Amino acid sequence: MKNKDEELIQEFIERKLKGLEEIDWSPDGQEDIHAYEILFQELSNETDVAGEFTLADKVIAQICRNQHKAESIKYAAIILVISTVFLFITILSVMFVDAGYIKAVLNFAATHNGVILFVVLSLIGIQVLDKIFLKKEAQSLPI
């Protein structure tokens, strides 16, 4: 089909949709007009493929969830390693360290129990606040 014919068909369809006077068209071109009319109508229909979010938003949200999950696994692994090392060192110290040295460490812990309690409570508070703020941040992300 020639460019001039395509332009005439487009003008014909636009006039028909606007309710203006139609252009006279030869009967042999009616099939082309009908095909273009169907195509024009289908292209003008907007479809809601991805719901209220675009595909990019969904991909970004999935990447954020995967990153959050990976960070949680890393933190859990670090905590597990630190706990295991602490347990291992404790077992070794009980087995191989002089009893007088263990008494000195326990005496130090008993003397400065307020400081140790403050440090432990501070660490727990930081973890709880981190969970709360991360949960709020995760809820604000599009799903």
State percent of the chain over pLDDT 70.
64
pLDDT at 108 over 80: yes
Three-state helix/strand/coil letters over the chain = CCHHHHHHHHHHHHHHHHCCCCCCCCHHHHHHHHHHHHHHHHHHCCCCCCCCCCHHHHHHHHHHHHHHHHHHHHHHHHHHHHHHHHHHHHHHHHHHCCHHHHHHHHHHHHHCHHHHHHHHHHHHHHHHHHHHHHHHHHHHCCC
Q: What is the mean pLDDT of residues 116-143?
A: 81
pTM over 0.95: no
Of 14-18, 27-31, 63-67, the poorest mean pLDDT is in: 27-31
Q: What's the pLDDT score for residue 74? A: 92
Per-domain boundaries in the chain: 3-44, 55-140
Q: Does 79 score more than 70 pLDDT?
A: yes
Q: What is the pLDDT of residue 1?
A: 46
Percent of the chain whose predicted confidence (pLDDT) is above 90: 24
What's the mean per-residue pLDDT of the chain? 78
141 falls in which pLDDT band (50, 70, 90)? low
